[in-house]
């Protein structure tokens, strides 16, 4: 069952990557990007849980991933608040959080092998 969850998480990540590379439109509003970022946090958490259960993540890896996901959530929420008064700054903060999540996804992909 855990391998199924891992497979589904990897499949979802591959699908999202393929959509982006095919030119399928990505989120076109700030709110959609923020919602997508929150969804990415959840997907990474599930993937990390599956990798940990499969013995592919150490305790230190798990702790770092949890801390990074918490920081990303805070960053997304902060970007949303800031974006209400300064849209450009909100977008910058959101893009930074998304970049962190993208790097974390790439790291987890290396652990799947």
User: What is the rounded CA–CA span in Å between residue 108 and residue 111?
Assistant: 5
CA distance linking residue 50 with residue 52, whole number of Å: 5
pLDDT per position as a tens digit, 47-75: 999 999 999 999 999 999 999 999 999 99
Structure tokens at 15: 């699908």
Residue 55's region, left for phi above 0, alpha for psi from -120 to 50, else beta, is: left
What global pTM score does this model have?
0.75
At 2-57, the pLDDT tens digits run 554 454 455 455 555 545 544 445 667 999 999 999 999 999 999 999 999 999 99
């Amino acid at each position: 069952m855990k391998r199924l969850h891992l497979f589904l998480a990897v499949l979802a990540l591959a699908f999202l990557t393929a959509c982006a590379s095919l030119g399928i439109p990505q989120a076109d509003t700030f709110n959609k990007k923020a919602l997508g970022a929150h969804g990415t946090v959840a997907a990474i958490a599930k993937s990390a849980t599956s990798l940990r259960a499969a013995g592919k993540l150490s305790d230190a890896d798990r702790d770092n991933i949890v801390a990074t996901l918490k920081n990303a959530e805070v960053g997304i929420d902060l970007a949303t608040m800031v974006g209400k008064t300064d849209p450009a700054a909100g977008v910058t903060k959101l893009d930074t959080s998304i970049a962190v999540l993208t790097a974390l996804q790439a790291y987890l992909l290396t652990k799947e092998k």
